[in-house]
Amino acid sequence: MTISLSPLFEAIHQATDEDSLRSHLAPKLGEYFAAKRSGIFFFDQLLTDPRFQPVLNLALSLEHNPVARYVAERHTPIHEGLVTRPKAWKLICPRPDHWHVMAGPIVSRGQLIGTVGFTREQSMPAFNTQNLADLSAVCLHLSDWVSTVRSPSVSAGKSQHPSFKADCLTPRELQIAELVALGRTNAEIGTELWITENSVKQALKRMFRKLEVSSRAEMVAQLSATKYHVPSLKLPNPDY
């Protein structure tokens, strides 16, 4: 039976700052993903704290770590089994409590500003596609939270009046956006809406152009920032 992600989403949006996000959410994420270790990292904070230099030099090194490089280039979650072989990974990261790793992006304004990561020991099962799908949904909400909390107007204690216009999306595109926010893959969205996976891909390209965004996470953050709620899903309409 699949465990609901809703408590994690609520914990994210109840956090008041990044310190509380790390201290309260990271343990819950670690428990959900059955991880030996878990953490939430913001690059600007890592750069100013010498204690985290080993993290930057190894764990987040784009040159040496294919997991970090994949997240940086594609802004999507990944685990080590998809980008390297076990023997190669052991050379890259010899720590026994990092035998299996999974990481996902935290995105704001189209830029990767942080990551959320998990590790497991050799005796524990490897991360799988369901873990990646769940982490994708978590990362969307984390990116939404960061975009809101780090907004200049929020920091100044002012109300937000974003210029983004959600009404540029068609009803079908809004349905797709809602499913993206729920962490669905393109194939799953196609199945649910009775359209092909390629149709979903093409629709997302159009949506990105309309909204002037470069990732799924930024798209969802834009929609949330405007307080615009995509409609509840209904039976698919052939007129899309």
> Taking the domains of the chain in order of start, what are their residue ranges?
6-154, 162-225
Instruction: Using pLDDT thresholds of 50, 70 and 90, give the confidence band for residue 235.
Output: very low
Q: What is the pLDDT of residue 150?
A: 72
pLDDT tens by residue, 134-190? 999 999 999 988 888 876 544 444 434 334 445 578 878 888 888 888 888 899 999
Which of 98, 105, 106, 104 shows the shortest CA–CA distance to 126? 98
Fold classification of 162-225 is Arc Repressor Mutant, subunit A (1.10.10)
Q: What is the pLDDT of residue 230?
A: 45
Token pair for 8:
């994690």
Q: What whole-number distance in Å separates Cα of residue 236 and Cα of residue 170? A: 13
95: pLDDT strictly greater than 70:
yes
| CB-CB neighbours of 221 under 10 Å | 27
Q: What whole-number distance in Å separates Cα of residue 231 and Cα of residue 67? A: 35
Q: What whole-number distance in Å separates Cα of residue 50 and Cα of residue 208? A: 38
Instruction: Using pLDDT thresholds of 50, 70 and 90, give the confidence band for residue 32.
Output: very high
Helices 171-181 and 129-149, axial angle in degrees (round to 10): 110
Token pair for 108:
């704001």
Fold classification of 6-154 is Beta-Lactamase (3.30.450)
Query: Among the ranges 83-97, 151-165, 209-223, which has the highest mean pLDDT value?
Result: 83-97
Which of 46, 48, 76 shows the shortest CA–CA distance to 59? 46
Q: What is the average pLDDT across 90-102?
A: 88
- Determine which of 118-127, 196-205, 214-223 has the lowest per-residue pLDDT on average: 214-223
pLDDT tens by residue, 45-85? 766 666 655 555 555 566 678 898 899 888 999 999 999 99
